[in-house]
Amino acid sequence: MFVITTHGGLYPSILDRTGLLCCLLAAIVHDFEHTGFTNDYLINTEHPIAMTYNNKAPQENHHVAAALQLLVQPEFNFLEGFGWEARLAIRRRVIDMVLATDMKAHMDIMAQFQHQLHPAEKVTHEAGSSSHQSNAKAAPLSMDSHCDPVPEQVSIALQMAIKVADVAHLAAAFPVHYRWVKCLEEEFFLQGDHEAAQELAVTRFMDRQQQGVSQSQAGFFEVIALPMFMTFVHVFPCCQPMLELVLSNYEDWRSLNDVRLAQRPAPIWHMKPVVADRKRKHSTFYESATSSSANDDSLMFSSWNRV
């Protein structure tokens, strides 16, 4: 999250120092006291966390609520130097960002991001009492031209940023990314073991006797990861190196999972080229031209937000 905000064009273009603090705090606490199970499992087993939050994003609600409760204790309250209104604003921002990591909100957040934000050739940014114009190449502020971003735009931009950061291992070198996927796969298998022991239906990809998530990564990239990274990079082009690594890892998974899969053309539905650079491994990048609708294939990824 630090790299995305400080090198990706968000800070200081649309964030001040307090906004940057909110981003880092949200990233730190976004999985605080995670149970190791999915939201659906907590709901199906009537877990106290699910009961507390009425089955609505129980994990994400617990992460942020438990963390903020901890931070008001005197020994941990590093925000006490802020005024009351500032602390409330920080809490609101952190809550919005952490709740955005619930994958059930994925399509809605993507649609809002695409609707509200787009690249701007020139932007006006106010810092204190001074105002200046900057070229988007130098400081890519991806909002409406000639105006400061409105709070709703900043909010949805930060929600997308933490979603990207939440699965940032997709943009790591393949050996690092592969290790994260194997850890996720084992976590899912452990849930499958619990489901089987409780005579519940074992969730897809969580039965250790069957295919795990490491065997279906190409599909995850196609349905969720690539559209999200492409859309984010189209608005914040300084994050393009992340997209290059995501694309590289996607090709590695296509080759690793299935030779037949690697031989078919990569799907580019609802996408159009936006950047070309022949010197790079991947010469063409794409943006999502329309908001993908939820379908049966995407539902299986509803809990894939562990990093």
Binding site: what residues are annotated? Answer: 30-31, 166
From the number of C-beta atoms within 10 Å of its C-beta (0-12, 13-18, 19+), residue 74 rates as exposed
Residue 209 CA: distances (Å) to CA of 104, 117, 190: 27, 44, 12
Of 64, 59, 58, 127, the C-alpha closest to 90 is 64
What distance in Å separates the CA atoms of residue 193 and residue 189, rounded to the nearest whole number? 6
Q: Kindly give the interhelix angle for 151-166 and 84-99, rounded to the nearest 10 degrees.
A: 50
Determine if the peptide bond prior to 48 is cis (ω within 30°): no
Residue numbers belonging to the annotated binding site for Zn(2+): 30-31, 166
H or E element that contains 207: none
Instruction: Point out which residues pair with 123 in neighbouring strands.
Output: 134
What distance in Å separates the CA atoms of residue 293 and residue 92, rounded to the nearest whole number? 28
What distance in Å separates the CA atoms of residue 116 and residue 138, rounded to the nearest whole number? 22
Q: Where are the beta strands (DSSP E) in 48-143?
A: 122-127, 130-135
